[in-house]
Amino acid sequence: MTTRRYRAPLRWAIFDLDGTLKQARDPYVYLHERLGMAEAAAPITEAGLSGRIPYEEWFRRDVGLWRGQPVARLQALLREIPYHPGAREAVADLRRRGLRLAILTTGPHFHAEMVAEELGFERVVANQVGVQDGTVTGEVGRVIPLGGKGPALRELLEVWGADPAACLAVGDGESDVPMFREVGLAVAVCPESPAVRQAADLVLESPDLTGLVGALLALDPHLLPPPVR
């Protein structure tokens, strides 16, 4: 656990998506399996994990498998991934307290945008999949590079004009650690490794987000603004 200076009350909150708000930790693997493409994706994954291809190329090849797929179909499959217990309620509580909310994920943008609309997030930063006339083209746009959530978060905070010390970040994986380092307070949700646990100020041992707001207020009663009814 780290020690840092946060500035209360917190005014901004940035959430990872996969494994933090929703139960599946890898939306690419999930979609490949649901689409019957797991065998075709296996050598791409192996090349990416071994470092034989850079992350951006890994993403491009993954997305290339979806060429011709209607985005609506992919979103319908992704919608079947359950939210973690308490996710909707925790996000709604933070919204009632006036926090401005964003999703920062290395997953595909059409998943993040769907979740943002469902839960009421203001902004989305995600990997951009090429889409034309509602169909995946196989091309890619902006890609958040491996370890790139830190710079992506800084860019988002600049757009907002946000004070990093008054920002909350919530994540579960090692890709979230650079994001944790940029904010006043970091929460690890059922962290996937000791490195994630060490980088966080607060750890939720269960993926259940029901207790998120209570845990924040237990840390400091003034950490969050009061809810607006």
Would you name the residues annotated as active-site residues? 16, 18
Write phi, then psi, for 86 (nearest 5 degrees): 80, -5
* 42: number of Cβ within 10 Å: 11
What are the residues whose beta carbons fall under 8 Å from the beta carbon of 43, sequence distance 6 or more? none
Which distant-in-sequence residues (6+ apart) come within 8 Å of 60 by Cβ?
A: 140, 143
Residue 154 to residues 99, 151, 224, Cα–Cα distance (Å)? 18, 5, 22
Q: Which two tokens stand for residue 144?
A: 């958040």
CA angle 108, 109, 111 (to 5 degrees): 75
Measured CA to CA, the distance from residue 185 to residue 163 in angstroms comes to: 12
In sequence order, what are the residues at sequence separation of 6 or more whose Cβ sits closer than 8 angstroms to the Cβ of residue 58? 44, 45, 47, 48
Between CA 28 and CA 107 the distance in angstroms is 7
